[in-house]
Structure 1
Amino acid sequence: MTTPSRRTLLTASLAGLTLGACSAPGTDGSAATTSTAAGKATPKPSSPSATGSTASASPTGPAPEPAIAKTPGADIVSGPADRNQVALTFHGQGPVELVHSILSACHRADAHITVFAVGNWLEATPGIGREIVAAGHELGNHTWSHQQMKQLSPAEAEREARKGAEALRAAVGTAGWWFRPSGTQHSTATIRAAALAAGYQRCVSYDVDPGDYLDPGSSAVRDRTLAAVKPGSIVSLHFGHPGTATALPAILAGLRSRGLAPVTLSHLLADA
């Protein structure tokens, strides 16, 4: 359960933080079912994007802790389909110059993302976590060292989740609300127990995976994402891959042309 001191941190001047799972070629047949949150976030007033779209600008800054984050349950695979928002989530590790390219594209498009950061990457890249949050994005826990979590013992899985949370606290002052396991799209009972032991009630999956971590080329990343995305989608993307950074401006333009606002996960899952 969330303690008052943790909740105070989560609603402080840093942007609201979110946590979350990792792409792998295979899926877990015993995965938990899709969960969504009801209600709507309050976006900023509508304004045209660089492409002339009239989609609402993406809300930024702290968001209240969504109710879905407060109780254990199935993996969160997508958000509410009754609002024109999507969450672009990035598995966070890789060269800083590619991170800056992605952040710049988001700034130009008034888009906000959720970054599930790898703990030892945060530790090895001082300041990057605060830079991401200061730009109005969210951070989440993507384990300490990006292991194949389905292959870990319960003790090893818990260590990955706990050390990832500690790295987040050291980087930005809070461990946030969400956990995404590495090496698998879906959690298992062992993974969910590890996340809970580290303070996370939910694991976050996704419903759109363009396979950008396989480096299929920027055009494929763009086309696969836009072909699958819909209102409420949670999209899996990755730092550290040039094709993803190159594809992102076109992905953002495509979303805007459909009236879909790219928002942080906490805003996508916000309560009414």
Structure 2
Amino acid sequence: MNGRRTPVPRRSTLRAAAGALLAGTATAGCGQAGEVGHTPQKARNTHQAHAAPRPAPVPRRLPGRPVQIEHGPRDRPGVALTFHGRGDPVLARTVLAEAERAGARLTVLAVGSWLDEHPCMARRILDGGHDLGNHTQNHLDINAMDEARAYAEINGCAQRLRRLTGSIGTWFRPSRTRYATPLVQDLARRAGYPHVLSYDVDSLDFTSPGVAAVTRKVAGELRNGSVVSLHFGYRDSVAALPLLLTEISRRQLRAVTATELLTAPT
């Protein structure tokens, strides 16, 4: 950072942004059986044209990148906003729609049990142009598990992703931890993930600190190549997203998927 303090919008602005974004969440839907609400216009047009759904990307080995990746290139104007996929699907759909309105693409690391409860979210994420990956089956402390249990957590979510999308997803992120142990890294490779996706900016949104705190924390640490950790299931994250996207645009950065960020030449 250049040492300047990043301005945070006034409280009245934050309240207005939060209220406007959250006001319509009660009826937001993904247009699948078993989920209430409307189908987004893009999805309606796709169904009407009988077009095939967006192919599910597969994991890629990235030569020159470490097994555990925290950030992308520092000399290119891209950042990856990554969301841990669990919690109220209405909030998740609100986040996706807001990102798409701004031309941003996200990376969602989904919990397998969440996909069991809301299977249409997998295709909703992919068809919006976002990355979809694996955040274990039950979101437990994977670093504390023995080999068999830890592998079952990784592979269980991978197989759910495969059944829903045809792919095990693009990335693996360990649950309840920022960094995977060497054992968990090895197990992820065994399950089909050459890399573990960590992050260098933690929003701390899961502590529910308020919209201003989430915005300040991310804006204060964001720079070229940043990978930001956020969560679907918290209203602070939903309300902060348009403010973060505005800040990203102001700095002439682009919010891209982790795949786009990390496949840029080193």
What TM-score bracket applies, with the shorter chain setting the length?
Answer: 0.7 to 0.9
Residues 11-22 of structure 1 mapped to structure 2, 5 A cutoff: 14=54, 17=57
Alpha-carbon distance between aligned partners in 2 of 1:258 and 1:117, rounded to the nearest angstrom: 29
Corresponding position: 1:165 with 2:158: yes
Q: State the TM-score, normalized to the length of structure 1.
A: 0.75
Whether the 8 Å contact between 2:202 and 2:230 is mirrored in structure 1 is: yes
Q: Please report how far the alpha carbon of residue 271 of structure 1 lies from its aligned counterpart in structure 2 after TM superposition.
A: 4.1
Matched residue, 2:103: 110
Describe the superposition over 1:97-129 as per-residue Cα deviations: whole angstroms up to 9, x where unpaired.
101110121011110000000011111102111
Unaligned runs of 5+ in 2: 1-51
User: Which segment drifts farther, 130-139 or 100-109?
Assistant: 100-109
Q: Which residue in the other structure is 2:45 paired with?
A: none
- Please name the residue that 1:135 is paired with: 128
Deviations 1:58-101 (A, max 9, x none): xxxxxxx4624xx9943100000111000000010011110111
Aligned to 1:89: 82
Query: RMSD of aligned C-alpha atoms?
Result: 1.8
Give the secondary structure class of the aligned counterpart of 1:171.
helix
User: What is the deviation of 1:201?
Assistant: 1.2
Q: What residue identity is the alignment partner of 1:67?
A: L
4+ residue runs over 3 A deviation: 15-19, 71-74
2:154 is equivalent to residue 148 of structure 1: no
SS where residue 132 of structure 1 aligns? helix
Q: How many matched pairs?
A: 214
Structure 1 counterpart SS, 2:129: coil
Instruction: Give the deviation of 1:211 after TM superposition.
Output: 0.5
CA distance in 2, matches of 1:73, 1:84: 21
Q: In structure 2, how many angstroms separate the alpha carbons of the residues matched to 1:73 and 1:132? A: 27
2:105 touches 2:257 (CA, 8 Å); kept in 1?
yes
3-state DSSP of counterpart to 2:246: helix
Higher relative contact order (CA 8 A, sep 6+): 1
Q: Distance in 1 between matches of 2:216 and 2:244?
A: 8
- Find 1:67's aligned residue among 55, 58, 62: 62
